[in-house]
């Protein structure tokens, strides 16, 4: 008589296949993109021949290929690490030892999860170090020091200990307080903390990592304030952030809510762009606010969090989920741990859908910026300069772009802006 394969064995096999499928897909996408980039490496694309010199384009191709090779190593390493953690048999023993040494409370269970998370983060530090001090430094982007790099990670660890650890313990305790509907209460608590941090982070957390100074009086400040008035965008201040102490990459954003909202420009951005181009970049960020993209993003994130916690609560009630990875059923904390290790392999396949929505928002913000500036040229000029300064890939493979690009490519954004201008 044929023996039935235990359900937990099938679950473990399915999980392993899912992890390997993601890793394999990432490796294949990188290889696909490498071939596509090399096929266009001989000459500057026709659309950019007037604005990108051959030397800069060649360096951008080299940077793209170097990053792609590194991501292949990273994808393989991550897949092997997760496989080893899940299927070596060490995880249940390590978790049990930590809980046993700390006691049987939710604080002990949360502490075990926190320690395991920190241990996995430590395993990734060599790759992070290589990316910063070898890859980025090779192409002239790295400006951070070893001391600052380690301080950043120490601060992140302390913030996780002070904020994340108590929140995790609270969520685990909600099972005792609220019963089977704990996931609804957990969702409300986590969402509340996220919204609170969105208000407090610009005031309490961001200054721990960067220095913020008011934009000096002058023509640029007046131009940006005039744009804010024109678009009826109220901000408490316009500030410069010392992004140059870590990298030569640049950015701009606004942060906070209500009277705490402030416009932030990287100092590298101010150095790289002309005043009109900076105004166009700010108009783009204002466009995200006016089109309610931030609110929609928060709503989408909240819906994803709710769905994830509901799925976690269901899995936590299935004995086969625990046994598939060597845990004894009953405690919620191991389910959290397993869910965290496996969720990335599942949500990876949703990346193209998320990116479609994100790109739609970017197109809308671009259109808003062009209308606010009464012309698209300033934004196009800013996008081109930023692409050159950041050595962006001008010729990504469409499938690779679909999985990895939350923003449209430079050529796609230019086409959309020019088409809108022609219709106008």
Give CA–CA dist 288/368, Å, rounded. 9
Selected catalytic residue, list 30, 74, 366, 414: 366
Q: What count of residues does the chain have?
A: 424
Say whether 53 is catalytic: no
The candidate with the shortest Cα–Cα distance to 111, out of 180, 152, 174, 160, is 160
C-alpha 236, offset from chain centre: 26
| Beta bridge pairs of residue 142 | 247
Say whether 285 is catalytic: yes
Give CA–CA dist 325/334, Å, rounded. 10
Are residues 396 and 61 in contact, defined by beta-carbon separation less than 8 angstroms? no
Selected catalytic residue, list 26, 78, 285, 362: 285
For 161, residues 6+ apart whose C-beta sits below 8 A from its C-beta are 114
Place of tokens 């099938």: 10
Residues known to be catalytic: 285, 366
């Amino acid at each position: 008589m044929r023996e039935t394969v235990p359900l937990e064995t099938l679950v473990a096999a399915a999980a392993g296949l899912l992890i390997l499928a993601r890793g394999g897909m990432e490796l294949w996408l990188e290889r696909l993109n490498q071939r596509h980039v090399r096929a266009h490496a001989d000459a500057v694309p026709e659309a950019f021949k007037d604005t990108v010199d051959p030397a800069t384009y060649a360096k951008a191709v080299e940077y793209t290929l170097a990053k792609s090779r590194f991501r292949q190593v990273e994808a393989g390493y991550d897949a092997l690490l997760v496989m080893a953690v899940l299927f070596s048999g060490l995880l249940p023993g390590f978790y049990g030892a930590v809980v046993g040494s700390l006691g049987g409370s939710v604080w002990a269970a949360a502490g075990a999860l926190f320690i395991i998370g920190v241990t996995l983060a430590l395993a990734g530090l060599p790759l992070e170090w290589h990316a910063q001090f070898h890859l980025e430094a090779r192409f002239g982007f790295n400006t951070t020091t070893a001391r600052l790099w380690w301080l950043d990670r120490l601060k992140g660890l302390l913030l996780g200990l002070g904020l994340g650890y108590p929140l995790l313990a609270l969520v685990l305790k909600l099972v005792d307080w609220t019963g089977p509907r704990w996931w609804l209460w957990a969702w409300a608590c986590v969402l509340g903390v996220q919204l609170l941090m969105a208000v407090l982070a610009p005031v309490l957390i961001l200054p721990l990592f960067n220095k913020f100074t008011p934009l000096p009086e002058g023509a640029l400040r007046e131009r940006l304030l005039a744009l804010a008035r024109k678009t009826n965008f109220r901000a408490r201040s316009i500030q410069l952030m010392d992004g140059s102490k870590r990298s030569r990459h640049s950015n701009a954003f606004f942060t906070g809510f209500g009277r705490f909202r402030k416009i932030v420009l990287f100092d590298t951005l101010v150095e790289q762009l002309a005043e009109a181009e900076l105004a166009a970049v700010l108009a783009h960020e204002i466009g995200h606010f006016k089109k309610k993209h931030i609110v929609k993003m928060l709503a989408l994130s909240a819906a994803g969090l709710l769905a994830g916690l509901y799925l976690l609560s269901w899995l936590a009630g299935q004995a086969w989920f625990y046994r598939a990875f060597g845990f004894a059923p009953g405690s919620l904390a191991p389910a959290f741990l397993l869910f965290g290790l496996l969720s990335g392999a599942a949500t990876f396949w949703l990346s193209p859908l998320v990116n479609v929505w994100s790109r739609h928002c970017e197109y809308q913000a671009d259109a808003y910026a062009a209308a606010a500036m009464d012309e698209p040229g300033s934004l196009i000029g800013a996008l081109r300069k930023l692409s050159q300064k950041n050595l962006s890939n001008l010729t990504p493979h469409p499938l690779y772009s679909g999985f990895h690009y939350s923003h449209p490519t430079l050529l796609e954004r230019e086409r959309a802006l020019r088409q809108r201008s022609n219709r106008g």
